[in-house]
Structure 1
Amino acid sequence: MKYRIKALTPVHIHSGEVLRSMEYMVKDGEVLIFDEMDVIRSIKEKELLNAELLDSYSLTSKRSDYHRNLDYYIKKGIIDSSIVNRYKVKAINKAENLNGKEIYRTMRNIQGTYIPGSSIKGVIRTAILYDYLLKKGIDYIKEAVNYLKNNQRLKLYIDDYIIYFTNTKNNNRKKNIQADPFKFLIVRDVNMTENEVVIYDETIFDVNKFITGNTIEAIKEGDYTEDFEFEIVSDKDKLNTLNKIIGYNTDLDKYLDEKKILEALYQFSSDIIDDEIEYFKQQENRLFNSKEVIKKLEEIKKKNSIDSPVIRIGKGKGYKANTVALAIKKLDRNYYNKEIKNIAKPYQYRERYEFPKTRNFVGNRVSPKLLGFTILEKVD
């Protein structure tokens, strides 16, 4: 069966690339993005040692008043204006003020924007492990949490406990990634078809305050990927051989099936959406239009189905962000309220990003948009 992924809200999967202010300019409501080498080649010869220009390249401070956009240097005659017609990407500008700001770019290759197969596979893996936790129940989760607490120096996560230390003879307290049955599931990178991107300011909503996030490049809502397939390269013989050689949790074998994958994705997304709606219904911040967010979430919920499940993709949307906590909350809310900070607390803990108080959004507070909601559609 072939599928495609459609963006229901803006999608940002950070590529690791950060666009400097010298590499773009704003013109007629659009952001024109240039290749860095083209910018350097367009510097007029007599301006190569211009102090202001050199400072812009050498300063590492993120303060926008230390940096200037490309059009500033064009107007000052430092960079040749002919570069304007050599932009590589044109983006819709929804950011309030881009003067001197860095832009965190989304994933792209030579053909344009794309969703990595690893991101899609990561969500599938997340959904399967979430389903497994629900079926095993709260006592199993408590056992896992206690195991992780007692072995903190090993820096294990609950997914490690499920895969490597459940139903196995693993007594050496080490995980062997060769025993991960998800290696038999292959999902390739998929390119977006429209290749339209939007520049947004990201904000972290922290219940009673707003924290400025990054300025990001996002895949436009409504864009969709090329057709693709899930490739499952396992069979009983391969799984039996793997278990004999290494040993892993064979309960996970049943999930290596396309129908089971869709069911797990549907259930996981259904619970995520319900949890998001509950969160925003409890908010009473008059400076934030939570009704707009709730309306969009309810629209997304109606679209979610077993045949066409919603998938949330992107930064902070994956397994370690909310899966375990969501399962605990559903199974035992009292235990959740008592233990959540200990369970969700990362090794490098920063209070202002404490789980689960915060939510990221883009756009302004009157018309906010959540990130990363997509839907998996079957292709005839």
Structure 2
Amino acid sequence: MSGESYDLHLTTLSPIHIGSGKSYSCCEFVPAKAKSKGQIVKIIKRVNLTNYYSSLSDDRKDTFLASLTNSSFELKQFDKKIKKDFVRYQCIDNSRVDFINEVQEHIKTSDKLYIPGSSIKGAIRTAIFYNLLTEEDMDKIGKDISSNRRNNSFLSNDLLKKHFTSGFGNDAQYNIFRFMQVADTTTTNLPRIEQVLAVMATDDRRKNQPYSRHGNVVKSYLETIGTNKEFKSRLTTTFDSNLYRKLKLEDKSEILDLNYLKEVLFKFSQDLIYYEMDFADKYDIEYLSKFYETLNKKNTADAPLLKIGAGSGLMATSIAMKLKEYDPASFDRVRNSFRRSYDFEFPKSRKVTKQGKPFGWVKLEFN
């Protein structure tokens, strides 16, 4: 058995959020200020509530527990000066708001942020599938959609099997991707809290404003890895001609070739960037146009870009972009099956920070 191993160098080009599935509220953190690069910045200190509670007197414990039953309780109202011993970690508050009720947590190890190898591998897999689809495949998808066999999906399990497996036995065992491993990245500390807004395209270009409900702008708050952060990972591929032959995967070995990987990642990111540039130009969203014009220059064949995590959107995580170009009628059939669908654009929203920057873009370099 042989193979190749490549050092991956990742640089974040916009905020990254990979959710842990957990969140914490203002009863778990206190706002503060700190010096960063010679400037005073807003931060929040997330508190270890178990240790903090244990340190309280019996009377204070009772008061604290009673306060927690109030949904609007803020820890800073109870104690403005939390001792350093009880602070789990700090976040730079880049939300530009006076009050944060709840923060969605980024995945961590020992309270340090990282990018899971599974997120990187999943994005690579989507780009490869997008590249492998043939005209015959697209015709089949169109026929399945017109005969209502696809059920509101831009994916096709039989085509995934066709391109990634030999079609025999257990799919995971006979899948070419079992021979690719991507390690979790190195870690970083000091998350950045970003306010998340959904910019909405409308048929009236003058009204492209953040999504509102009942007159209030809908917003949420994420722990993120900030821009220009660097990480290391490792991509390893395994080659065993005898095993490939036994599993009938000989014709799929090109998928694991480094030059092929670079090429498909570059092309997929290029198509996605052009798609987003067209969207921004069509609806006169100037800050998105500028962002993607700059991003396009950073996408190269040797160091392609990748979109991962929260805010990736439908086009980055499926073959919808190809279906919309190849078979608009089939795309519209699937679009119309969604509860909220719009003739002039689908999907019609993009998640951005308060400063208007999309989420999820990283640059990959292979050594």
What range is the shorter-chain TM-score in? 0.7 to 0.9
Larger CA deviation: 123-132 vs 195-204? 195-204
Identity of aligned residues (%): 23
Asked if the contact 1:6/1:225 (under 8 Å) is kept, the reply is yes
Structure-2-length-normalised TM-score: 0.82
Q: How far does residue 210 in structure 1 lie from its aligned partner after superposition?
A: 2.2
* CA 266–321 in structure 1, closer or farther in 2 if over 3 Å, else same: closer
Shift of 1:157: 6.2
Cα RMSD (Å) = 3.0
What's the CA shift for 1:283?
1.2
Task: From the two aligned structures, give the one with the greater strand fraction.
Answer: 2
* Alignment map for 1:134-149 (pairs within 5 Å): 136-137=134-135, 139-147=136-144
CA shift, 1:35, in A, is 2.1
Q: Quick check: 1:161 aligned with 2:158?
A: yes
Give the deviation of 1:255 after TM superposition: 1.0
One of 310, 322, 342 as aligned partner of 1:327: 322
Taking structure 1 as reference, are residues 168 and 108 closer, same or farther at Cα in structure 2, changes over 3 Å only? closer
Question: 1:292–1:169: structure 2 CA closer, same or farther, 3 Å change rule?
Answer: closer
1: CA distance, partners of 2:98 / 2:175: 44
How far the C-alpha of 1:344 sits from its partner, in A, is: 5.2
Give the counterpart of 1:26 among 31, 35, 50: 31
Give me the TM-score of the superposition, normalised by structure 1.
0.79
CA distance in 1, matches of 2:164, 2:111: 44
Deviation readout 1:269-298 (Å, 9 max, x if unpaired): 1111111111111114xxxxx322222211
Deviates more, 1:29-38 or 1:143-152: 143-152
Question: In 2, Cα distance between the equivalents of 1:110 and 1:26?
Answer: 22
After the TM superposition, which residues 98-247 of structure 1 pair with which residues of structure 2 at under 5 Å, given as runs?
99=99, 101-110=101-110, 112-133=112-133, 136-137=134-135, 139-147=136-144, 150-152=148-150, 158-165=155-162, 176-193=171-188, 195-208=189-202, 209-211=209-211, 212-226=218-232, 228-243=233-248
Shift of the 319–118 alpha-carbon distance from structure 1 to 2, 3 Å rule, reads: farther
Further displaced range: 97-106 or 269-278: 97-106
Q: Give distance in 1, aligned partners of 2:306 and 2:352.
A: 17
Q: How does 1:64-103 map to 2 (within 5 A)?
A: 66-75=71-80, 81-84=81-84, 86-97=86-97, 99=99, 101-103=101-103
Q: Structure 1, residues 16-35: CA drift from partner, whole Å, max 9, x if none?
A: 12012111111121111122
Please, which runs of 5 or more residues in structure 2 have no aligned partner? 1-5, 34-41, 203-208, 212-217
Alignment partner of 1:359 out of 338, 342, 350: 350
- In structure 2, give the amino acid aligned to 1:207: A
Aligned with residue 357 of structure 2, among 358, 369, 376: 369
Distance change (3 Å), C-alpha of 1:84 and 1:355: farther
Please, which runs of 5 or more residues in structure 1 have no aligned partner?
60-65, 76-80, 285-289
User: Which structure is higher in helix share?
Assistant: 1
The answer (yes or no) to whether the contact 2:15–2:227 under 8 Å persists in 1 is: yes
Q: Per-residue displacement from partner, 1:123-169 (whole Å, max 9, x unpaired)?
A: 11011001112xx12x421303433665457x986352223256989
Quote the residue 2:9 is aligned against.
Answer: 4
The residue that corresponds to 2:66 in the other structure is 54
Residue type of the partner of 1:222?
N
Distance, in Å, in 1 between the alignment partners of 2:331 and 2:79 is 53
**What CA distance in whole angstroms lies between the structure 2 residues aligned with 1:12 and 1:345?**
30
